[in-house]
Structure 1
Amino acid sequence: MPVLAGTSGWQYRHWRGVFYPPDVPQRLWLEYYAGRFATVENNGTFYRLPARETFSEWHARTPDGFVMAVKASRYLSHVRRLREPAEPVRRMLEAASGLAGTLGPVLIQLPPGLAADPALLDECLRQFPARVRVAVEPRHESWWTDGIRAVLTARGAALCWADRGGTPVTPLWRTADWGYLRFHEGGGDPWPRYATAELRAWADRVAAAWPRDATVYAYFNNDQEGAAVQDAAAFADLTRSR
């Protein structure tokens, strides 16, 4: 089972001297990162959608086989709250097409206060062509229903499995033939690291849920003190050894 593990973002200044050597300039951080991880989740696109040329530049700076997941703009998820999704989805995909073969899944992270609406979700997912993988990360408990699970499954979209404190905060539904995980904060020491036992438990869950040939993307969002890069590397090693 190919598990691609990386971090949520790569441009953290506090990673200098922790992950990035002091003599590597910031303009080369993506190259340095891509030499050590197979994937990254671009969470900067949530705040501002770059031009297609910027995506093309990122593609040119990374090696063959590298995968960049793209977090959907907050304009789609938090401003419009999934309403009238056609135009923001179209703009996002046109820009992200600059990644060409580097483009990985698109993550739609929903606001914590947004209650479930199966019809809105279905209409949003309908805007994506079948070739684009979409993961959805709801954060309101009203989304954990059979109706929502059915919409995700019918559209081939992955429910994002999310963790906080070493514990799942979402159902562990398998709604697509691929998977998407996000790790927000571990329960290990020092904070916010993940303990080895927590990472091993997640590796077991992934192995039990997907067949050997399924692709699973895993991103660590606990960027403080460079915890994300350490945990992503450890999780990659654990899943590889399995």
Structure 2
Amino acid sequence: MGTSGWRYPEWRGTFYPAGLPQRLELEYAAGHLDSLELNASFYGLQRPSSYLKWRGATPEGFVFAVKGPRLVTHLNALHQVRVPLANFFASGVLALADKLGPVLWQLPPRLAFDAALVEEFLALLPRSTAAAAELAAVHGDLPAERTWTGESGAAGAFPERPLRHALEVRHRSFASEECYGLLRRYNTALVVADTAGKWPLLDEVTADFVYVRLHGSAELYVSGYTAAELDAWAGRVRGWLAGSRCPDGAGRDVYVYFDNTAAAHAPFDALGLSTRLSGQRARNAAE
């Protein structure tokens, strides 16, 4: 449970205590939430030193979801993206090690469903950290100080782990059984995105986990969620956790991120939803 990013001026003196140094905001947020989306990676490649710093500033068990670069999703629109993908995974993402959660790929509203193109993209995505390191090794001309691939023996080297991917779509043509079947074939989660009605809210379970982004129910990125709305989302999450909302009846891991960040509602809504689910999560841990 968490928010989309953590560095917002509107949060200072509201969620963050007055006078808290900016360099301590991640540590503070991670002390109250158990996951955050890394958004900076969408706008450009980050440095390995940044990923290592973010990893070190968060407690054991914390998870980052990392947003894939817009060069892949928006500028190239999924065409000829093998090298950009390699550069992304070579840029330090893997330095998060056991704190690396799902990778989020957000498509632009103009991009309609093209089965061949989407399948080509999904087939390129690495499904383990070892596969990601292998892809990263064929990166473009990144300078050495901007490269971290986690080779055996490297500082911070990691054990191999599965790597999950989630796809957020914004064109209504993705609402099709062909799309859902394709995502299930590649175990890729279709993001459940609440966008104040601007883009489709698709509620199909297509992977062994569920990924939810709550951008605002009334005003995109701005409006907070009412108690009744949080109750309703808590009910949905319980259903995914328990399997009652899943086609095979099997429970899923669920990642929820609030992106209604503009007026500082996101962290408080995340805490409100987390409180509603605390009993369910405790039961799951005990089972």
TM-score calculated relative to the size of structure 2:
0.78
Is the 1:166–1:198 contact (alpha carbons within 8 Å) kept by the matching residues of 2? no
Residue 165 (structure 1) shift: 3.3
Higher relative contact order (CA 8 A, sep 6+): 1
Structure 1 stretch 111-120 or stretch 84-93: which is displaced more? 84-93
Post-superposition CA distance 1:125-170 (Å, at most 9, x none): 2222222110001100011111111111000000000113389932
| SS of equivalent residue, structure 1 residue 31 | helix
> Which residue is equivalent to 2:242?
211
- In the alignment, the residues of structure 2 paired with residue 45 and residue 183 of structure 1 have an alpha-carbon distance, to the nearest angstrom, of 20
1:177 equivalent in alignment to 2:208: yes
Matches within 5 A, 1:1-242: 5-94=1-90, 95-130=92-127, 131-165=162-196, 169-187=200-218, 192-211=223-242, 214-242=252-280
Is the 1:166–1:194 contact (alpha carbons within 8 Å) kept by the matching residues of 2? no
- Structure 1: give runs of 5+ residues left out of the alignment: none
| SS of equivalent residue, structure 2 residue 237 | helix
Distance 1:167 1:231, change over 3 A: farther
Residue 186 (structure 1) shift: 3.0
Residue 225 (structure 1) shift: 2.1
Structure 1 stretch 117-126 or stretch 37-46: which is displaced more? 117-126
| SS of equivalent residue, structure 1 residue 135 | strand
- In the alignment, the residues of structure 2 paired with residue 23 and residue 210 of structure 1 have an alpha-carbon distance, to the nearest angstrom, of 38
Is the 2:240–2:252 contact (alpha carbons within 8 Å) kept by the matching residues of 1? no
| SS of equivalent residue, structure 2 residue 264 | helix
- Structure 2: give runs of 5+ residues left out of the alignment: 128-161, 244-250, 281-287
| SS of equivalent residue, structure 1 residue 152 | helix
Is the 1:112–1:138 contact (alpha carbons within 8 Å) kept by the matching residues of 2? yes
- In the alignment, the residues of structure 2 paired with residue 167 and residue 82 of structure 1 have an alpha-carbon distance, to the nearest angstrom, of 23
| SS of equivalent residue, structure 1 residue 68 | strand
Name the count of aligned residue pairs.
Answer: 236
TM-score calculated relative to the size of structure 1:
0.92
Counterpart residue type for residue 241 of structure 1: G
